[in-house]
A and B are shown apart, each in its own frame.
Chain A
Amino acid sequence: QITLKESGPTLVKPTQTLTLTCTFSGFSLSTSGVGVGWIRQPPGKALQWLALIYWNDEKRYSPSLRSRLTITKDTSKNQVVLTMTNMDPVDTATYYCAQRLNGPIDYWGQGTLVTVSS
């Protein structure tokens, strides 16, 4: 059974750096083809892809947010970490991690709401 769970702060202040951790089970991020990514959803709005890391450590970022994002993986801990710098109130959203094996997203985490406010 594949599960993913996001963890991190629920409240961050403007200009701070957000660090989110995705802890997963039921698959290995060392298996060829596997990728784990991050997606966010502002309240009442659509899904927005942020970043993606593959089994071979290749990383991809949303062009519009590339300068603020870093994605890393710890295969031994079954974790993927996303950092986003210089947080702003417009970054308030539910942040999801998700897994892909060969193409589309196959499994989603439950999401974690992050509010940016002073």
Chain B
Amino acid sequence: QLVLTQSPSASASLGTSVKLTCTLSSGHSGYAIAWHQQQPEKGPRFLMRVNGEGSHNKGDGIPDRFSGSSSGAERYLTISSLQSEDEADYYCQTWDPGMWVFGGGTKLTVL
């Protein structure tokens, strides 16, 4: 079964970096994923696609502070030079022809 696992919460200080993790279920370690950001009281926004070999493709207008990477079944979203507006929920998403799958989301608090 295709499942994505995320930690419920993360925190980091203003101006520092944070790395969020999304883990693919067993047997699916080669899948690409996408990261979506949902700021408080807003709809989600596509940030980037992260491929199994580690490359990433960002959406329109996504700042360079956001980057993606991979290791095995884990997919990462790194946000550098954290700003207050980065405080949001971050969801990973994957797909196959039959479905879309979301992780449970990580709530990022910027201290």
Closest A-B pairs by Cβ, 4 of them: A104-B34, A49-B100, A47-B102, A111-B43
Q: Which residues of B contact A108 (CB under 8 A)?
A: 36, 43-46
- B-facing mask of A37-63, CB < 8 A → 1, else 0? 101000000111100100000001010
Q: Which of B12-20, B21-29, B76-84, B91-99 contacts A (4 or more CB under 8 A)?
A: B91-99
Most chain-A CB neighbours within 10 Å: which of B36, B93, B94, B105? B93
In the complex, how many residues of chain B place their beta carbon closer than 8 angstroms to a beta carbon of chain A? 23
Query: Would you give the shortest CB distance from B94 to chain A, in whole angstroms?
Result: 8
Asked if B54 is an interface residue, CB under 8 A from chain A, the answer is no
The closest CB in chain B to the CB of A112 belongs to B43
A-B contact count (CB 8 A): 58
Query: Would you give the shortest CB distance from A37 to chain B, in whole angstroms?
Result: 6
- A-facing mask of B41-52, CB < 8 A → 1, else 0? 001111001000
Report which of B32, B43, B98 forms a contact with A104, defined as CB distance below 8 A: B32
Is chain B's binding surface mostly helix, strand, loop or mixed? strand
* Distance between Cα atoms of A46 and B45 in the complex (Å): 14
The closest CB in chain B to the CB of A61 belongs to B99
Q: Which residues of B contact A (CB under 8 A)?
A: 32-34, 36, 43-46, 49, 59, 91, 93-95, 97-105
Q: Which residues of A contact B34 (CB under 8 A)?
A: 103-105
Report which of A39, A94, A107 forms a contact with B100, defined as CB distance below 8 A: A39
Is chain A's binding surface mostly helix, strand, loop or mixed? strand
Query: Would you give the shortest CB distance from A5 to chain B, in whole angstroms?
Result: 11
A107 & B43 in contact (Cβ 8 Å cutoff): no
Asked if A110 is an interface residue, CB under 8 A from chain B, the answer is yes
List 13 A–B pairs whose Cβ atoms lie within 8 Å, in order of A's numbering.
Answer: A39-B102, A47-B93, A47-B102, A47-B105, A48-B102, A60-B99, A100-B95, A103-B32, A105-B44, A105-B100, A106-B59, A108-B43, A111-B43
A52 & B100 in contact (Cβ 8 Å cutoff): yes
